[in-house]
Chain A
Amino acid sequence: MGDYHFHFAPLWQALPEIWEATGTAVLVAAASIVLAFVIGTSAALASEYGGRRARIAVAVYVEAMRNSPSLVKIFFIYYGLPSLGLYPSPFWSGVAALALHNGGYVTEIVRGGLAAVNRTQVQAAMSLGFGWFETQRTVVLPQALRQAIPALGNVWVEMVKDTSLTSAIAVRELFYLMTALVSATLRSFEILAVFAAIYFALTTLVAVAMKVGELRTEGR
């Protein structure tokens, strides 16, 4: 251990690639976070207001997502859909898989938030002449989502970390570059330290942003 010499030069040379890979990871995370939010909110609303069939369909979706690894969905989309004549790119396979997988968690979280908003508020808004959509948008969802912020934050941190799994289908994000750099330079310790730090910075950023969001909406 004592005779190991740190050598960061190979990393310095790879800086443009690291920058690009960070961008890709952020893009995968951002796209899947937005999509998962849309999927989760729609599914939660469908479950709450769509009647028995919709509720069962949403429950099946949620359990299908939560009880298997996200990597299964990544491979299912990337290796499975070509059998149906669809050839999604690695990037979109990864985004779709992460969005669907975590959409299951988001559904449960938003459902919990919706359940916490008193039904009488919906009745009051509707009787004041608000349409259903308007009621949800202006009365129910703002309250439901405010409650959901901490739990959503946890899921988003998980999603940022899960972007590393898309390297398995050759999305050129951070972990993909990390393994490539290690085999090219054999500087495994330095590379590990730098990439772990980048990931840690990204997840901390999300966690802090959510905390700020939580504090700013508190008491409103």
Chain B
Amino acid sequence: MDALAQLGPVMPQLLRGFLATLELAAVALVLGTAGGVVLGCLYAWGGKLLRALLFALLTLVRGIPLVVQVFAVFFVLPVYGIKFSAMASAAIALTGFAALTTMEVVRGGIAAVPREQFQAARSLGFPFTTALTTVVLPQALRIMTPALVNQAVFLVKATSVVSLFGVTEFMFTAKEQIERTLLGFEIMAIVWIVYTVVCYPMTLLGRRIESRLKARGHAALAGP
């Protein structure tokens, strides 16, 4: 019961850290998805050079650990006189990462919509953006949904790496509290359960949407 008494004052701290994690994940998810849609469209309709550049960036981001990328934002940007707070740097790094990985999902979604539909819309006199937003993207979005949900789960988990840079999110707060109370087992069990409670429903949702799509004869895109 000693441990339980000690856990009391830990909980508000953990809650604060958890809220910071949710905030980070929400920012990265919203801005990253928006950026990813833009990048995906640029990829689908952009020139060869732009496409090569985006592909190279995506390959780099996929081949290098996320911590190293976050490190770049934290320590290399300041060399050029660009300085942000720790939380903002973390948000920038995660958003950039989310945008590039979402780009790949969006690109796949657009590629899955027959090109003739876009051409038909254009030849019927639809302007480019209208053809895109009313014909291609709604269909692409439906195919992309499971992959986007998986991406959201992935991002919530990925926010934890910024704890290595002293950003006071969930993991960092947990570590701080462990150092203070030595309740490593109890605190990490709580953290594990809380992450699962957030991510598992999203995983289930993604799976349900995917099976519904399959039932309707659409092939869903694989997640990241």
Contacts and interface: CB of A to CB of B under 8 A. Distances in A.
A192 B68 contact: yes
A71 B163 contact: yes
A83 B184 contact: yes
Contacts of B157: 67-70
A72 B64 contact: no
Nearest to A168: B164
A192 B171 CA distance: 24
Given A167-B164, A175-B65, A76 B79 contact: no
Given A72-B192, A72-B195, A189-B79, A164 B184 contact: no
Given A161-B64, A162-B65, A164-B67, A72 B75 contact: no
A68 B189 contact: no
B166 to A, nearest CB: 11
A76 B196 contact: no
Contacts of A179: 71
A163 B68 CA distance: 12
A188 B195 contact: no
Interface of B: 60, 62-68, 71-72, 75-76, 79-80, 153, 157-158, 160-161, 163-164, 171, 174-175, 178, 183-189, 191-192, 195-196, 198-200, 203
Interface of A: 1, 4, 63-64, 66-73, 75-76, 78-84, 157, 161-165, 167-168, 175, 178-179, 182, 188-189, 192, 195-196, 199-200, 203-204, 207
22 contacts: A66-B203, A67-B203, A68-B157, A68-B192, A68-B196, A69-B171, A71-B161, A71-B171, A72-B191, A79-B178, A79-B184, A81-B185, A83-B185, A157-B63, A161-B64, A161-B66, A162-B65, A167-B67, A175-B65, A188-B79, A192-B72, A192-B75
Given A83-B184, A188-B76, A189-B76, A165 B67 contact: yes
Contact of B195 (A69, A83, A162, A168): A69
Nearest to B183: A83
Given A80-B189, A81-B185, A72 B160 contact: yes
Contacts of B161: 69, 71, 165
Contacts of B66: 161
A63 B65 contact: no
Nearest to B60: A200
Contacts of B67: 164-165, 167, 175
Given A72-B191, A188-B76, A195-B68, 17 more contacts: A1-B80, A63-B196, A68-B157, A68-B196, A69-B171, A73-B192, A79-B184, A80-B189, A82-B184, A157-B62, A161-B65, A162-B65, A165-B161, A188-B75, A189-B76, A192-B71, A200-B60
A186 B183 CA distance: 36
Nearest to A63: B200
Contact of A63 (B79, B198, B203): B203
B63 A67 contact: no
A2 to B, nearest CB: 10
A167 B75 CA distance: 17
B188 A76 contact: yes
A183 to B, nearest CB: 10
Please give me the 10 A-B residue pairs with the lowest Cβ-Cβ distance, nearest first: A79-B184, A68-B195, A83-B185, A67-B199, A69-B160, A164-B65, A80-B185, A76-B188, A161-B65, A69-B157
Contacts of A63: 196, 200, 203
B68 A75 contact: no
A83 B174 CA distance: 16
Contacts of B60: 196, 200
Contacts of A79: 175, 178, 184-185, 187-188
Contacts of B164: 165, 167-168
Contact of B68 (A64, A84, A157, A175): A175
A207 B183 CA distance: 40
